Structure 1
Amino acid sequence: MTHPQRDLIAALRSDLTAAGFTVSALSGLWGPDADTALHRNQRVPALRALARLRSTLGRSTATATLAELFVLGLPVAPALLAEALPSLGIQGAAELRLISSVDEHDESVRPVADLRPYSFIDQLGVGSWWIMSDLGELSLGHAVGEDHVLGVGGASLTLSGLMIQRTVDSALDLGTGCGIQAMHAARHARRVVATDISARALDIASLNAELNGFENIEFRLGSLFEPVADETFDQIVSNPPFVITPRAEGVPSYEYRDGGMVGDALVQHVVHHAGEHLAPGGIAQFLGNWEYTHAEAGLDRVQGWLDETTDPVVDVWVIERDVQHIDEYAETWIRDGGTTPASPQFDRLYGAWLNDFEHRGVEQVGFGYVMLRRPDAASPATPSPLRRLEQLHGPLGGSGSGLGAHLSDCLAGHDWQTRRSDAELAASTLVVASDVTVERHYWPGDDDPTAMILRQGGGFGRQTPIDTGLAALVGACDGELTIGAICGALAQLLSVDETALLDELLPRVRALLDDAILLPTAEV
């Protein structure tokens, strides 16, 4: 979709490229410690580094000027900005709503938008973009507005890392915000529809798409699935406004995070209706919160939502990554809006949050990932839909950036094993995934281990306890011997009944395939 200010955006792209306005360039300007401080919303170390640079060079570079204006949110001299944006110019920057309007008498130019580089590695390789969003509280000096358009935050990075990047015809980004997920999806989807309830968000997302050269994204205004009422997609991704916010007078309702519903009802709505918009073989992935009460655990609550859906054939995988006490949850999201702790406003909002939770009997809030999948009519059907709800708290394996590929491997392993009988599985050959190691623990002086653990280096970093039989089977899975042949040899070695051993180990082999710890030989 072509942006109406295409020529101005092309000029901006040219200037940013010429200035070398990249993530690595910014890190080079102020160093890793200042980078870390910026993530804590502290800009003094970065400012000190820029001052030292100007003192050394006797001038400011284009990259430093752009960084000071758009990343640190501080005014710069018009002459410096004109030098940094020679193609776009000051007037062009004002027309794109990057800076406030200026005249010849102004001694400084102030930003009205955040514009910063963004880099990533996904399943398709290395990428880098520029992302425009609204100024945060660091630049504003006060809490953000309720129509604030957020840039790339922690939840955005989580979802983009989860995204399964298979080639598809169509994708939907539900609640696109600044457009970051739509652009990630556009790397592997022929066309993308991005929706949002905020017209401002769509304007900014459209500019970001144009700035970064995407022409296959269509933007639509509306709430949740309303803009795509009768359509289906091969992929749906969403970082929905899932934050649980009191519906009380005087409590800000931020469009980027608050869906306007009570409690976790918005996530429930997405769970209920996402499957209706999946084409055969389609996958939906989204983030969410769910409440814990004294009477119901969070994943039990999600299971209840699934039981209420009218589409029982859709596969479901829910992973809870964290649980917060209501006190911590309230503090996190009040600070997120830019309200200063210990201020009267903070205390008032804190009280409203806790009153809401107490009124509804909420004690904790869970956070995690939800994946839905509609079976592909062209593929052999599995005996029953996948229903997997699990808690995986704690650190991820590796960097967490390859979760999308890992989830895809897990789904492939699940499909492969569920379509095979025990006899067919026993006749198959498997291999151990390359990131899996065995950890053995011994009592001092003992020859035999007291505990053995399969440790997954990537993915979710699973740690699976195993016994002697399963350890021996996994160790022999080199793609040469069948599972049945391995079990036959083990039965002789351990002096046990071969059939009984096979019956014991096959379900555990299926579980290891579900977790991509074991892989079918054909998948290697």
Structure 2
Amino acid sequence: MPNPDPALCRDLAADLAAAGLRSSALRDAWGAEADDAVRRGLRTPGLRALADRDDALATLARLLTLGRTQPTEAVDRALPTARSRGLVALGLAQRDGDLVRPVATIRPQDSLGAEWWIVAGLDELASDSGALAEDFVLGVGRASLTLAGLQLPTPAGRVLDLGTGCGIQALVARQHADAVVATDISEPALACARLTALLNGASGIETRRGSLFDPVAGETFDRIVSNPPFVITPRTADVPAYEYRDGGLVGDALVEQVVRGAGEHLVPGGACQLLGNWETRDGVDGLDRVRAWVESSPVPLDAWVIERERLDPIAYAEMWIRDGGTVPGSPAHDRLLGAWLDDFAERGVTAVGFGYVLLRRAAGAPTLARYERIPQPIPDETALGAHLADALAVHDALAVVDDEALANATLRVAPDVTEARHHMPGEENPTLIELRQGAGFGRSVQADPALAGLVGASDGELTVGQIVGALAQLLEVDEEALSGSVLPAVRALLVDGFLRFA
């Protein structure tokens, strides 16, 4: 793709808006069932629903969303200002006689609290061959939405989007930042990111080509976001190296390099958020290996690492072989599976974890080192960024609050928290009390009667110390000992959002 002409992009955006190429309009045009099918990579239901229509929305949906060649005359009617020649000039389509053949997709995306047009490559939905080119540019997938939802929604000066791909993370970051530098090793990806930014009128996004931190050597940022090509891929000639998912390094070395190198490119207090895979290797747990990467950073880092999923080598290889479009049971599938298992066996890999990494450059000694597994469903991944920001703010506030000050604080239980008590048949007292969170990470915490009582009494009226005193009398235990056992749990509940300062 050539460097896009901003004026032509404005014309194209105006045409797309006039045609109504929006997510809700497409759902209305082809119906809820076809919309679900399209999201699963099946275009036939959408094409059937639009078969009898020749309006602008139908033409552009077939051409730019579903990847079907359209008559030049119909495209020119649908894009009265940019016209088909504008798509060709921008590198989005090619002319073939009286037909216009797409070479990229433009799809509306409304899952992130805003409506954007995203430029990306021809994926399995839009491609007739089903095979992906190694320099294919991925659009907005599940991982993209996950990281976008994780981004801290707090003001920032400069943000680095490391491995920008189609540019979706840069758009999300720009909502809260003064400027964004978006980097990628792939020129096709940078071209898509530039077009994505221009079509959506997003200024202040600069693209640079290069590997990892090379394009920003010597620079620091308030925030770094990265959905890097973290997929672990065998380094053999007969295994496709898709740029959108494979960083070209052995094992999880690319994620390791991002974690080790991020701190030097953050201002003090600046945060880095990324997704990644990590291997459990030679008996060393994957989260422990990530901890070692963090601790080897040349600058001190706070760290909060969450493993969401853990797969054995066979399941991991199967997932990514399918992602490349290879049919299970075929000779090619068997060959690729063998290559992946050989690669894992050579390094002693017994499991691969996937999760979220939140790093922060500490102004002094690190105060946060949290490595945990959260396998349960999350109520709303798009709201995790706000939850993380609140948790960091509470963590920082509690760092300067001693137990005496905490005892004098008044708290409220969060409105999404519920309590469940489990009883053995015929027993009056519960054998288990659970505090359940309906937001955030959807955590469930086991509580003893004292902690459950404190949470239940936290309505913003009594101080923590007053509640502890009353509970000590009720339970007939020593107040000082009860305070010593309850206050650490209260701190944890505050950070995790079960409790709030009144």
Contact 1:322 1:394 survives alignment (8 Å): no
Which of residues 102, 107, 112 is equivalent to 1:116?
A: 107
Counterparts of residues 360-371 of structure 1 (less than 5 Å): 360-371=347-358
Answer with 36-45 or 417-426: which moved more. 36-45
1:441-480 equivalences in 2 (<5 Å): 441-480=422-461
1:297 CA drift (Å): 1.3
Is the CA contact 2:148–2:172 (under 8 Å) kept in the aligned structure 1? yes
CA distance in 2, matches of 1:348, 1:4: 41
The residue number in structure 2 matching 1:278 is: 266
Q: 1:289 matched to which residue of 2?
A: 277
1:309-338 superposed Cα distances (whole Å, 9 cap, x missing partner): 232x32100000000111111111122122
Whether contact under 8 Å (1:400, 1:458) holds in the other structure is no
Other structure's SS at 1:487 match: helix
Q: Residue 77 of structure 1 corresponds to which residue in structure 2? A: 71
AA aligned to 1:395 is P
Pick closer, same or farther for the CA change 1:465–1:275 going to 2, 3 Å. same
The question of whether the paired residues in 1 share the 8 Å contact of 2:310 and 2:353 is answered with: yes
- Return the offset for 1:100: 1.1
Preserved CA contact (<8 Å) 1:113 1:135: yes
Question: The residue matched to 2:93 in structure 1 has which SS?
Answer: coil
Q: CA deviation at 1:243?
A: 0.5
- Give me the identity figure in percent: 55
- The SS at the match of 2:453 is helix
Confirm or deny: 8 A CA contact 1:413 1:520 kept in the other structure: no
Structure-1 separation of matches of 2:143 and 2:400: 35
Q: Distance in 2 between matches of 1:435 and 1:257?
A: 37
Which runs of 5 or more residues in structure 2 are unaligned?
none
* Superposition RMSD in Å: 1.6
Matched, 1:65 2:47: no
Distance 1:384 1:263, change over 3 A: closer
For each residue in 1:192-246, what CA deviation from the matched residue of structure 2 results, as whole angstroms up to 9, or x when unmatched? 1111111121111111101101111111111000111101111100001110000
SS in 1 for 2:28: helix
Tell me, in whole angstroms, the C-alpha distance in 2 between the residues paired with 1:316 and 1:479: 32
One-letter code aligned to 1:298: G
Task: State the secondary structure of the residue aligned to 1:270.
Answer: helix
Q: Is the 8 A contact 1:315 1:372 kept in 2?
A: yes
CA positional deviation for 1:4: 4.4
* 1:373-429 per-position Cα deviation (integer Å, ceiling 9, x unaligned): 123x5xxx7x75200000001211x22210000111111221122221111111111
1:88 lines up with 2:69 in the alignment: no
2:222: which partner in 1?
A: 234
Indicate whether 1:330 and 2:317 are aligned: yes
1:135 is aligned to 2:122: yes
Name the CA distance, whole Å, in 2 between partners of 1:243 and 1:425: 44
Paired residues, number? 500
The amino acid of 1:391's aligned partner reads: R
Query: What corresponds to 2:94 in structure 1?
Result: 100
CA–CA distance in structure 2, aligned partners of residues 320 and 220 of structure 1: 31
**Partner residue in 2 for 1:26:** 26
- Indicate conservation of the 8 Å contact 1:71/1:115, yes or no: yes
Unaligned runs of 5+ in 1: none
Instruction: State how far apart, in whole Å, the 2-side matches of 1:374 and 1:471 are.
Output: 36
Deviation string for 1:458-497 (max 9, x for gaps)?
A: 1110000111100110111112211111101111111111
C-alpha contact 1:150 1:256 (8 A) present in aligned 2:
yes
Question: How far apart are the structure 2 equivalents of 1:139 and 1:185?
Answer: 28
Q: Distance in 2 between matches of 1:42 and 1:159?
A: 25
Q: How does 1:427-506 map to 2 (within 5 A)?
A: 427-506=408-487
- Distance in structure 2 (CA, Å) of the matches to 1:186 and 1:384: 28
Instruction: Give me the whole-angstrom Cα distance separating, in 2, the residues matched to 1:4 and 1:113.
Output: 14
Q: Any conservation in 2 of the 1:74–1:111 contact (CA below 8 Å)?
A: yes
SS of 1:493's partner is helix
C-alpha contact 2:152 2:388 (8 A) present in aligned 1: yes
Asked if residue 37 in structure 1 is aligned to residue 37 in structure 2, the reply is yes
Show CA shifts across 1:84-121 (max 9, x none): 11111111111112211244xx2x32211111101134
Kept in 1: contact 2:322–2:328 (CA 8 A): yes
The residue that corresponds to 2:13 in the other structure is 13
Map 1:117-516 → 2, pairs under 5 A: 117-121=108-112, 126-140=113-127, 141-311=129-299, 313-375=300-362, 384-396=366-378, 398-516=379-497
CA contact (8 A) 2:225 2:274 kept: yes
8 Å contact 2:263–2:297 — kept in the other structure?
Answer: no
TM-score (normalised: structure 1): 0.93
| Distance in 1 between residues matched to 2:431 and 2:54, nearest whole Å | 64
1:138-187 per-residue CA deviation (whole Å, 9 max, x = no partner) reads: 33213211111111111100000000011111110001011110111011
Query: How far 1:293 sits from its partner (Å)?
Result: 2.9
CA distance in 2, matches of 1:479, 1:306: 39
Q: Work out the CA distance in 1 between the residues paired with 2:39 and 2:17.
A: 24
Work out the CA distance in 1 between the residues paired with 2:43 and 2:111: 23
Determine the C-alpha separation between the residues in 2 that align with 1:306 and 1:91. Answer: 51
Give the secondary-structure state (helix, strand or coil) at the position aligned to 2:228: coil
Residue 291 of structure 1 contacts residue 297 of structure 1 at CA under 8 Å; is this kept in 2? yes
Whole-angstrom distance in 2 between the partners of 1:442 and 1:73: 58
CA distance in 2, matches of 1:454, 1:117: 40
- Asked whether the 8 Å contact 2:264–2:298 carries over to 1, the reply is no
Tell me which amino acid in the other structure corresponds to 2:359: L
Q: Cα–Cα, structure 1 residues 242 and 384, in superposed 2: closer, same or farther, change >3 Å?
A: closer
1: distance between equivalents of 2:109 and 2:413?
A: 35
Q: Distance in 2 between matches of 1:294 and 1:37?
A: 42
How many Å apart are 1:446 and its aligned residue? 3.5
For the Cα contact (< 8 Å) 1:441–1:449, is it kept in 2? yes
Counterpart-to-counterpart distance in 2, 1:261 and 1:459: 34
Distance 1:46 1:207 in 2: 26
Is residue 418–residue 436 contact of structure 2 (8 Å, CA) maintained in 1? yes
Using the alignment, how far apart are the partners of 2:36 and 2:338 within structure 1? 31
